[in-house]
Chain A
């Protein structure tokens, strides 16, 4: 077994420096996550509790099987926006009665659980993850409906939620709605479009229009219970399949419902039920990525701390060496790994990647991309040698690969390298970033420098004097703006990834994702034989 050797020296100054920098980023991540966990803040949490209701995270904790993991996704959605961190919805993958499910819970402590543009984007992403990976969906519903000030941004696209629900159902993906409170107007279609519905007695309120609107529309005098009470829906309208006496009972009923789904995963199980842990300590992952991303680092040190038994068969180790490719298992699932070694992608690296991706498709093996790239090589020699052509081969291979892709940005993801290394636009099943990661069209100083050169050229062409002071100010402003906007948390806030993760959790996160992915079939493309480029 080819066990990776490690050259890492945890006593070295660079290790200490890297670790210190990473710990600072982790503190920022923890603060952001604290913000997400705080929900609507103490006052609204207290008010919610005073009604005898459980918090959405408590509902999830009760719903999932004891001692199992919960992988929360898009936890810092809406970070650095005008909306509360988390976007008033909590979602992730959890195991319910032995079934890996997508669990989506409104947070009623955040503006009544109302849906703002980020809530919508997050909900859509969660629904997409459920659909592409064949995960049953459990919605824990308690939402006041659309956030009225931003309704223009959500009303029209918002219908997708209901469309996706019933399409999931038609794909035989079970959908379960547990209604703990309000689900009114459009929200009423959440239970309406679900396969299974559970309503909490004296809490659920599900109607198209509330008493005031009914009065306005038809003049009828009504009340909440007769319009949309849980008991009414369980005994009269039939919208509720089960009437729960309280929240715990509702969660019990949801679990019973999942237990009776007769759920079978379509993908193969892991090749080893008990996978050997890596030979090296995951704690050391904090000291590997360079504090200054301009210094490349050996991704084999990462792989050695993530894959089963640190066991890695490297493919083409002597060719295109600034991209590491190879085979491994992760929690028993076979994977192919593509990891940037020295940032730049040359023609050889591109062709190696394209071939490797085709081999993975031929073997139905999922791919893990570890991004740390500054992009494809530039310069006259490389353009003349066809770097665009070769890069296009790699991007083509990535785009048309049918095996599941998992992408982790462990450092830099710049330029077209982001595309070739399966960035968001190439629809990896899951995409995570380490807290130190950055992603942009190019680095801040580079972008500022480019703008400066263009400015100088423009000044020269126009015969103007070049104002060096304002150029410096411009460079500083652009650099800082790019730095802010390429940071992992900023991008995660905009739903460009599925979460920022602690590097030490990489193995666990990828293991959960791989297992979830195998809920559906895992098959590579069958279009062509493997091209040897």
Chain B
């Protein structure tokens, strides 16, 4: 009985210690979460938004998605430790998630720039090709038309009945 009471007192003390030593904020889902976990969650969401922009810009984001998934696993792990009240592991996993999120964010920003540059180069190349194609079509058609017209007249003239003066 005494040992159970001692266990309870120690547990309450340890939980209070974690509660006091770690600053808590309201997370996105309304639950209370330590500040560092909330920061990691925010960083991961920002990194995802940057990856979305990179995706829209036409970059290959499959590697970034894999990295984000590693970050999300760390975040889930951090939340599990929040649930278990272990401040050391909360900090450890939230920190790992935060670092990965920052890394992904900077990679995504780089990928956006690269994708935009390559998109611009591709656009210029395609536009020049199209302009050349249009000019070629117009020139060829106009040359073709002139040749056709000449042949047409020749043919029409060839069909004209010859004027034959009456023989007396």
Chains A and B bind each other: no
Residues in A lying within 8 Å of B, measured CB to CB: none
Interface residues of B (CB under 8 A from A): none
